[in-house]
Structure 1
Amino acid sequence: MLRIRPFALCRPLLRQNHRFGLTFSAHGSSAAGGQVTGLVVGDSTQVQSVVEKAKKLKGLTTVLHSTSSQYASPVPEVVSPLLERLLSDNSPYTHVFFNATTFTRPIYAGNAIATVRAPSSIPVKFFTVRSTAFKASAPEDGAQVEEKTLDPVEVVDSPTQHIKTDLTKSDRPDLGVASRVVSGGRALKNAETFKATLEPLADVLGAAIGASRAAVDAGYADNSLQVGQTGKDSKLIVAVNKDPDAPIFQVADVGLVADLFEVVPQLVEKLKQ
């Protein structure tokens, strides 16, 4: 999926990461107001296919793109000069949410909301948005999106170099974009039990596998599988815990007080029927 990361508004500039595909929220952008511009950076094998997909997205006004071998696996020190030139004094990309200086963001795994105030003297403000915070816009053949090319800014002797990218390969959906996630915690005892218990359920549901921070810290699962403890962006949360006072029941839509080692195998068998 292509994650579009909002960088600035009144006219928002969104950076699009080619590595993860393409996702854009018209709802999120319209809530921000005004015209929405996307920025795609990459090398010659990456950019054009992403630009063509972006041009079909309803709600996107303009797609800027810049191509360079340096942008194949971009690091901040390489991309920042391009953004600096783009966000110059004469840039139309200025403030977030109509010159707003006060924003809210979740902290403590979503259990609290922090209000952050930035000085009004700062002309450009950067922020990121969770890809699951808004419903993604579907491609639309009739979308009218303008395409513009930006000359790359070549960086000589960058202090940071991209060495390699290690991606976890799985036949299951990617955790970041999965519509279903089966997640387990420390109660699963060890890595072997974690795998033996959750994988059959995830397979029958076509779901990704997630793990709590406690399970990751205990070595039951890889760090890439860690999910938030409350699942704030989830549309439906189903919880199984033998403790009726478990915190998860405070946010779950459906809760079952039972032993997961008994319930999960039964559920798998029912779903297979």
Structure 2
Amino acid sequence: MSTTANKTLILAEHDGRSLSEGVYHAVAAAAFWNQPVELLVLGHDANSIAQAAATIQGVSHVIYSDSTAFAHTLAEDAAKLISQLGRDYSVILAAHSAFSRNILPRAAALLDVAMISDVLEIQANKTYVRAVYAGNIYTTVQSSDTLQILTIHSSRFPQAARTQAPAEIDTIAALPATPASRWVSEFRSQSERPPLSSAKVVISGGRSLGSAEHFEQILAPLASKLGAALGATRAAVDAGFAPNDIQVGQTGVTVAPELYIAVGVSGAVQHTYGMKDSKVVVAINQDPDAPIFQVADYGLVGDLFEVVPSLTASIQSQP
């Protein structure tokens, strides 16, 4: 397979209301290649999403596929369309998330090229730095493929700004839907708190909280005071203390807030991989030897059931 143009295509993730913050990081990462950057928006009645994508600085073109099949995008349908478009690009990328890692490997297989995931650094000569073993080892890999397909670790790249001169938007037809799979239903947790992936303050709880009731009773008031998002460790999620969509870690959401407060979190590498890029990390744990203190900027050894309510009471509510 050979490509016909030196262009970059970015798969734009959105929830039907707004673009994911990762899209802005992906556009900034794409500047490395110094070539035109085009955004692919998949959706149904999502004109506002396409228009928002067109205002990202560095985007030269937006391709919008409006189809009922993309009202709830299935990986099979998205990958099939990307594989048809892919021959016109030298790079296809997206922010590393459940959405992109479900679609792009399928597209890579259809295009018969390698898929490089969760890239931390882009280097010359199709070379990339990525982490293995939950971030304990960095590896440098080089691809020989003409077409590069990758996902980037959002927190390692800046955010692209907005522009007053929006890019042109082209609408294209979707391919026939894949009959082998169909969308059945979904459940989304409703919350007035900021989204976990883009919150400036994140408060995460571990299994030490003991129950779903304690998780909410102890952490929610502090989150409300600080205008923070709630996160959880995998152990807390597996124990049923918190929903899966707020899991922070290697198999969950990767965050890099200005302030990360870890409450009753032991500091397993699976979890720290997802939050170690936070600007300031505060750990509260009664075990002075807990590994979380090794990545924390500030640590408090104490009983979380006493410390957190006391901390909450001492903070003025956000206006």
TM-score by length of 2: 0.72
Would the aligned equivalents of 2:91 and 2:149 in 1 still touch at CA under 8 Å?
A: no
Look up the match of 1:264. 308
Contact 2:10–2:92, Cα closer than 8 Å, also in 1? no
Q: Please report how far the alpha carbon of residue 207 of structure 1 lies from its aligned counterpart in structure 2 after TM superposition.
A: 0.9
- Report how far residue 248 of structure 1 moved: 1.0
Give the whole-Å Cα distance in 1 for the aligned partners of 2:69 and 2:124: 33
Indicate the residue corresponding to 1:135 in structure 2.
158
Match of 2:232 in 1: 211
**Do structure 1's residue 16 and structure 2's residue 12 form an aligned pair?**
yes
Q: Which residue of structure 2 aligns with residue 234 of structure 1? A: 278
Give 1:32 shift. 4.3
User: Is contact 1:78-1:158 (8 Å) kept?
Assistant: no
**Cα displacement (A) at 1:116:** 4.0
Q: Name the stretch that deviates more: 183-192 or 26-35.
A: 26-35
CA RMSD between the two structures: 2.5
Amino acid at match of 1:242: Q
Within the candidate set 170, 174, 177, 1:148 is matched to 170
Alignment of 1:133-212 (within 5 A): 133-141=156-164, 143-155=165-177, 158-212=179-233
Shift of 1:37: 1.1
Residue 77 (structure 1) shift: 1.7
65-74 vs 129-138, which moves further:
129-138
1:249 equivalent in structure 2: 293
1:3 aligned partner: none
Residues 1:75 and 2:74 aligned together:
yes
Q: Identity of counterpart residues, as a percentage?
A: 39
The answer for the alignment partner of 2:90 in structure 1 is 93
Match of 2:43 in 1: 42
| Structure number with higher helix proportion | 2
Over 3 Å counting, the alpha-carbon distance change for 1:56 and 1:251 in structure 2 is same
SS in 2 for 1:52: helix
**Cα gap change, 1:123 to 1:158, in 2 (>3 Å):** farther
Contact 2:89 2:147 in 1 (8 A): no
| Residue-pair matches, total | 257
Q: Is the 8 A contact 1:110 1:232 kept in 2?
A: no
Measured against aligned partners, the alpha-carbon deviations of 1:8-61 in whole angstroms (never above 9, x if no partner) come to: x95321011231622313532223432211111112x11x11121112111112
SS at match of 2:198: coil
**CA distance 1:209–1:52, change in 2 (3 Å):** same
How far apart are the structure 2 equivalents of 1:144 and 1:220?
Answer: 44
* Aligned-partner SS, 2:15: helix
Q: If each structure's strand is expressed as a fraction of its own residues, which one has the higher value? A: 2
Give unmatched runs, 5+ long, in structure 2.
Answer: 94-121, 250-270
Task: Find the aligned partners of 2:36 and 2:76 in 1 and give their Cα distance.
Answer: 28
- Give, in angstroms, the shift of residue 131 of structure 1: 3.8
Query: 1:57 matched to which residue of 2?
Result: 56
Q: TM-score, normalised by structure 1?
A: 0.83
Which consecutive residues of structure 1, in runs of 5 or more, have no partner in the other structure?
Answer: 1-8
Specify whether residues 94 and 137 from structure 1 end up closer, same or farther in structure 2 by C-alpha distance, changes over 3 A only. Answer: closer
Out of 107, 127, 130, the position equivalent to 2:132 is 107
Deviation at 1:80, TM superposition (A): 2.3
Contact 2:293-2:299 at 8 Å conserved across structures = yes
